[in-house]
Structure 1
Amino acid sequence: MTIEILPATGDRFDDAELALDSGDGPGCQCQWWLLTNAVFERSSRDELTQRFRDETRGERPPGLIAYVDGEPAGWVRVGPRTAQARLLRTRDVTTTTPEPLDAPDVWAVSCFVVRERHRGQGLMPQLLDAAVSAARDAGARVVEAYPLDPAVSKRSANQLYRGTVSVFVDAGFDIVGRPKPDRALVSLTLRD
């Protein structure tokens, strides 16, 4: 099995769409964390898809696509936390992060999707490693994430789009706090 992880650029939009083809991915178009609830709720799927397409054509790819033997198999969103408006309005984040909310060098890993037939192959840790590298290369000082802990509260695979605490801890992230028993805010310092 050959795994390759590449930026979600405009020429790979169709691959990004296929990578999102599990759980809530098709309906969300990985726009949930970018929009306020009111804007998200009144946006049609076509509008969300167009927003996502525009992101992939932008200056900075919104995330990374994992390919298994050339087939799109997974997705991770990574980018500046300030570009993910809902994060900046989410109590679990605002009350737990030690970082200033307006810090442009704090990046967030906020969403994973692994297509059903590719689950159990270790793609989430590989996507996370690639996301950290992308953040580091772009000048991020800190990478944050907001994973769930299925050891505390059972969750379906689709509910684990934030990632799992164990994957982040295994990758060297520190647990900064637990706003709820089954949720954590984790952080990795890339530079001082």
Structure 2
Amino acid sequence: MTSQPPPSPGDPRQREHDLLRAAVRGDEKALAQLLKDITPQLRGRVASKISPVWQGSLDADDVLQVTFVEAFLQIEGFTDRGEGSFLAWLSHIADNNLRDAIKALERAKRPDPRKQVHASGNDDSYVALVELLGYTSTTPSRAAARGEVHTALDAVLSQLPPAYEQVIRMLDLEGKAPAQAAEALGRTVGATHMLRARAHDRLRELLGSESRYFSRMS
């Protein structure tokens, strides 16, 4: 197998390599430039995977918006493996987002009552959300647990990206319909479902770090 020659100064590959190295070290401007450069190519890939069935509820830019939020959250774990590796990494994130959005749209047609949070904005809806994500309170008293979960979960939610916090509050805690939340967020219904899936992933991670208040359900 013939290896590629190392990029020379002024080579686009060298520019991308330098930007990636800076982005992994926490340079948000470098990452923003990388995402801007790669948007047309990534958009084309994503658009080709959206079935006509879902094009009224979801478009490529919806997927890219959530993918780019995830890129900022995950870039420190990226490993540059040479030309094309950044596009492959982003494409993997985008594929996961698209798959989750389509699953959520399909579930919305056939809702499973066992997986619904009966939201009311009170302590019970907070407890129901935590349990939906696979956690429970560490407080033995159920009455005390409800209030404690409400306070602790509010603190955890504030650590999420703003769009993630908003979608969880609207759909899981306030009981808004996806169409209502989508309108309030200025997004499509598909994008709203996708945001919720990623927001739940991030919230699970944060709940796991709050061992004083939450533990995994057996």
**TM-score bracket for the superposition, by shorter chain length:** under 0.3
Q: Give 1 or 2: higher helix fraction.
A: 2
TM-score by length of 1: 0.26
With normalisation by structure 2, the TM-score equals 0.24
Structure with bigger gyration radius: 2
